[in-house]
Chain A
């Protein structure tokens, strides 16, 4: 493939476009409520109305307002139909010709949509994820061409450094710095890994991106591979995402077919292939060293760092690991420039962040907002607040590694530093809203149980510490604990946080620590008086002189 081919594909695709497009969500959420059936019936209805030449029914990726699915949106009228059933198809088609429809619609100009700023999700819900031509028509693979033909690997790394992009997997490590380290690491063989092991309960951002715009990941990975000098990539995706897996397989096949993966890409000396590795249900494999062990076909247990994967990763070769959303940002940055990207967001957190909004909230779904957007904007304005007139009590971010941010801190801007300051983390982007009926000790116990079940068992603090913390939380909830037990719990939190081998253990106490910080009274209300008075180290042992 050449640049000319790319342009030709794009032009042909645009020329073939019809005046009216009915976009029908074919992501996992909507397909589970028969959006496939909706699409088929829409096609049939279009044919019956004799509109084949004017109307295209297009299967697209996630259209974001998942709670209202299946979703169908008409271009250019913007009408957004919700909870569509196959039987609604004729009415939707009829409405295209100006007929009044009584079908349920959502307002595409509501804050849920208008406050979003799309970089990662630009193509999401717009293009057909199963056709490479659709991605190319949306300027896809142009950045890869530019990189291969006009830039040195160092230029690419410099651009990413300049953009200020930070890893979207949770910790927020500067992406450019990571790339630079891998690029500089000596080694003939290097690897790229895309971490698509989205394990946080309540998070589905990465799944949506994979299902909606798989080529953006392939392009991002290819650019990264060129920048660091790798020729082999792996996408580690969880087995629970069969649709994402099949779309990735399809995308890789298409890219290979047209020569955008393989050897001599864009007639340059650059070779790059991507293989898919399917996870098998282990949360700890989100940790990069555990993930690498799993890619190597081993038990997914982490190992101490250093050495970091950038120096010694897969099969001891320098390896770059980024998550899905990070790779999805790469092509846009190169297409539109580092300065453009760095102009979005806050001083230390650049660009946008995708969140999966869920829990006790009106509008659940997928949102992408600039870094620094206040939490209240996200949950109150975009999310529509708690349902049934309830009141938001806290917002949980970062999954089992994160924390609960209470109502009084909802004005916090969402960026890496601010969330960390509140004892939570950005995490991968799950955002669970809780209302007044939620018991925070129970929330802490839920996450601790998750961490206990997902602990790999390699290091003692995480393996045995989560068991004891979980036991203490159970005891507190059963009203069998005393202040001594609470002190033990806090001490264990500190110890497990500071001594565990990997991120899972180091962050496992976070849900407890953050709920203790903001909702301590909920713990204390459950404590029982110690009949003999506490004899914690704080109260000195009485001197052993004779009784009077």
Chain B
């Protein structure tokens, strides 16, 4: 049997979910023997490949780059997993939504002007920094998502439980504290 092609992606989040993924420790070695990691911030691959079986998505959809890549991922991937609270709920990155429709201006003002120690200036060069979306969204608000693995971050044990079921060819089912937010 051919090996599963797995990807992970990092959108608007703190990378904590990926850290938790790395906390899988020796299971990572088992995993390496069973799947191909075809795209991930922890491997060197520039373009999201075609025909991916499963993608773990960390982070909320915050900017135009996120949005574009997410659509590409959806088109090229069989099964998407919202991986961690930012992907599942928007979490901390989405807190700027509370500032209302003009939150982008507020956020940039706060980050680049008010708290700048030197050279207060908004990055504006086109094509360098992607524009922020007016509203941060959880992944499933943009594309269909098959599975949700909440947690901030999801505990390594839960990631392992999820992947073990996937590798066994069963429909992954997590329950109870395994799907706890936060």
Which residues of A approach B to under 8 Å, CB–CB? Answer: 484, 530-535, 541-548
Contact = CB atoms under 8 A, between A and B. Distances in A.
B180 interface: no
A541 B146 contact: yes
A539 to B, nearest CB: 9
Nearest to B4: A546
B54 interface: yes
B169 A545 contact: yes
Interface residues of B, number: 23
B78 interface: yes
A547 B171 contact: no
A484 B172 CA distance: 23
Contacts of B143: 531-532
Contacts of A543: 169, 171
B23 interface: no
Nearest to A534: B144
Interface string B114-152: 000000000000000000000000000001111100000
B160 to A, nearest CB: 16
A313 B120 CA distance: 66
A547 B78 contact: yes
Contacts of A532: 71, 74-75, 143-144
B1 interface: yes
B166 interface: yes
Nearest to B52: A547
Interface string B139-182: 00001111100000000000000000010010110000000000
B167 to A, nearest CB: 8
B88 to A, nearest CB: 16
Contact of A542 (B51, B52, B78): B78
B79 A544 contact: yes
Contact of B53 (A484, A535, A546): A546
Interface of B: 1-5, 51-54, 71, 74-75, 78-79, 143-147, 166, 169, 171-172
Pairs A-B, 7 closest by C-beta atoms: A535-B144, A546-B2, A547-B51, A541-B146, A532-B74, A546-B4, A544-B166
Nearest to B77: A547
B5 A546 contact: yes
A533 B146 CA distance: 12
A484 to B, nearest CB: 8
Contacts of B78: 542, 544, 547
Given A532-B143, A532-B144, A546 B1 contact: yes
Q: Is the interface of A mostly helix, strand, loop or mixed?
A: loop
Contacts of A544: 4, 53-54, 78-79, 166, 169, 171-172
Contacts of A531: 71, 143
Contacts of A542: 78-79, 146
Nearest to A542: B78
Contacts of B79: 541-542, 544
10 contacts: A484-B144, A530-B144, A532-B71, A532-B143, A535-B146, A541-B79, A542-B146, A543-B171, A544-B53, A547-B53
A533 B54 CA distance: 17
A85 B144 CA distance: 65
Nearest to B2: A546
A394 B147 CA distance: 43
A536 to B, nearest CB: 8
A484 B51 CA distance: 25
A113 B167 CA distance: 78
A120 to B, nearest CB: 51
A548 B1 CA distance: 10
Nearest to A540: B171
A475 to B, nearest CB: 11
Contacts of B166: 544
Nearest to B146: A541
Contacts of B53: 544, 546-547
Contacts of B4: 544, 546-547
A546 B51 CA distance: 9
Nearest to A536: B144
A534 B146 CA distance: 11
Contacts of A548: 2
Contacts of B75: 532
Nearest to B168: A544
Nearest to B170: A544
Interface centre among A532, A544, A547, A548 (most CB of B within 10 A): A544
B171 A541 contact: yes
Nearest to B75: A532
A544 B79 CA distance: 8
Contacts of A530: 144
A34 B78 CA distance: 72
B8 to A, nearest CB: 16
A148 B53 CA distance: 83
Interface centre among A484, A532, A546 (most CB of B within 10 A): A546
